[in-house]
Structure 1
Amino acid sequence: SAFLSDATVEFDDETTKVERAADVYKGIVEGESSSHVFGSIHDGIFEGRVRIDNEREFWIESSFRYNSTAPFHSFIYAREEVEMPQNEEHKEKR
């Protein structure tokens, strides 16, 4: 996590305890040395990105985010299946 379990934020003479919402993880796919996995686990469900190589990347999201009544907990989709906005404001930064 980005914060210690007992972290506080002080601002404008007020102190607020920081609540940890999720744990962040990073790693690789076993057997794929050039892969990269990054995401978090919230309520027992992984959300994040899995990049196998420069060609194959997958995003994983909780289906509950969309108020889904699906019988599964996650959506997994390939990056090439997503249509990204093409205007200047939404260009992907790398």
Structure 2
Amino acid sequence: MFETVFSDDHQLDINGEYLNTNSIRPEEFLYEGFIKDDPGSHVYGSIMDGVFDGHIILSDGTSLTVEKASRYFSPDERPKNYHSG
């Protein structure tokens, strides 16, 4: 579990409104681990709204980045049933 990933003076700004960061619980959405059949691998990232966004590094050095597809499409152009790429 994470003690905290935010510094004491961290401020969260969402659309110009500063929010109380004490309500943020990183252990509820940040994850770290490894691939089941590759114990030398390293996986870390977040799961928000059921979608993983992060990095996968296999023990052979292969590195993969998984990002939300929504970053690359306007809302009206997003493919249906497709959330990561």
TM-score with structure 1 length normalisation? 0.57
Is 1:35 the counterpart of 2:34? The answer is: no
Gaps (5+ residues) in structure 2? 12-18
- Percent identity reads 25
Residue aligning to 1:20: 24
Larger Rg: 1
Higher RCO (C-alpha 8 Å, min separation 6): 2
- Partner of 1:55, secondary structure, is coil
Gaps (5+ residues) in structure 1? 76-94
In structure 2, the CA distance between the partners of 1:70 and 1:17, relative to structure 1 (3 Å rule), is same
Paired amino acid for 1:36: H
Please identify which structure carries the higher strand content.
Answer: 1
For residues 55 and 41 of structure 2, the distance between their equivalents in structure 1, rounded to whole angstroms, comes to: 11
Moved more, 26-35 or 58-67: 58-67
Paired amino acid for 1:74: S
TM-score with structure 2 length normalisation? 0.62
- Partner of 2:67, secondary structure, is strand
Please identify which structure carries the higher helix content.
Answer: 2
For residues 31 and 53 of structure 1, the distance between their equivalents in structure 2, rounded to whole angstroms, comes to: 10
**How many pairs were matched up?**
69
